[in-house]
C-alpha cells in the first residue's frame, strides 16, 4: 500500500484487490477498517471526515481539448477544462474519478475512470 498527500491537506491511500474480488464486500471491509482507525486520527481529520471511494484505474474515456485557430494556449485550455468541464464530468453517473493532465507542450487531456 502506498499513500500520497498534497499541500491542500488531502491524503490518498489507494487499496488494491485481486481480480475477482467482490467490490461491494471490499468496500464494506475497507469502511470497517477506517471506522476502527478513526479514533486514532487527529480531531481535525475526524471533523473533516474520511471518504472511501470505490473505483477502477482503467480509463473509460480520454478527451482532448485544443484551440483550432490557435487563439488559446495550453494553459488557457487547461484552466477552462478545470473550471468548466471536470465538475460536470464528475457528475456523470458511474464516474468515480476525473482528472486533467495538461502538459504545457501538448493539448489538455482529461480522463475518467468507471466504477469497478
Mapping DSSP to helix (H, G, I), strand (E, B) and coil, where does residue 97 land? strand
Q: Concatenated DSSP letters for 70-108?
A: S-S-HHHHHHHIIIIIHHHHHTSTTEEEEEEE--TTS-E
What pLDDT digit, counting tens, does each position of 16-67 carry?
Answer: 888 888 888 888 898 898 889 888 988 888 888 888 777 766 777 788 888 8
User: What pLDDT is attached to residue 53?
Assistant: 75
User: What pLDDT is attached to residue 90?
Assistant: 82
**How far apart (Å, rounded) are the C-alpha atoms in residues 45 and 106?**
38
User: What pLDDT is attached to residue 71?
Assistant: 93
Q: Could you tell me which residue, 24 or 109, shows the higher pLDDT?
A: 24
Full-model pTM: 0.47
What pLDDT digit, counting tens, does each position of 83-99 carry?
Answer: 888 888 888 877 767 87
Residue with cell 471490499: 26
User: What pLDDT is attached to residue 41?
Assistant: 87
Confidence of residue 1 (pLDDT cuts 50, 70, 90): low
81 DSSP 8-state letter = I
Q: Could you tell me which residue, 17 or 1, shows the higher pLDDT?
A: 17
Which residue, among 100, 90, 87, 116, has the nearest Cα to 15 in the 3D structure? 116
Amino acid at each position: 500500500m502506498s499513500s500520497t498527500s498534497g499541500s491542500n491537506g488531502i491524503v490518498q491511500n489507494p487499496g488494491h484487490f485481486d481480480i475477482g474480488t467482490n467490490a461491494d464486500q471490499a468496500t464494506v471491509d475497507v469502511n470497517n477498517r477506517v471506522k476502527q482507525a478513526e479514533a486514532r486520527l487527529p480531531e481535525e481529520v475526524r471533523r473533516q471526515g474520511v471518504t472511501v471511494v470505490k473505483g477502477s484505474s482503467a480509463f473509460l474515456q480520454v478527451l482532448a481539448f485544443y484551440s483550432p485557430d490557435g487563439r488559446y494556449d495550453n494553459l488557457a485550455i487547461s484552466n477552462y477544462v478545470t473550471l468548466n468541464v471536470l465538475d460536470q464530468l464528475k457528475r456523470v453517473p458511474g464516474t468515480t474519478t476525473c482528472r486533467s493532465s495538461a502538459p504545457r507542450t501538448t493539448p489538455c487531456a482529461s480522463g475518467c475512470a468507471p466504477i469497478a
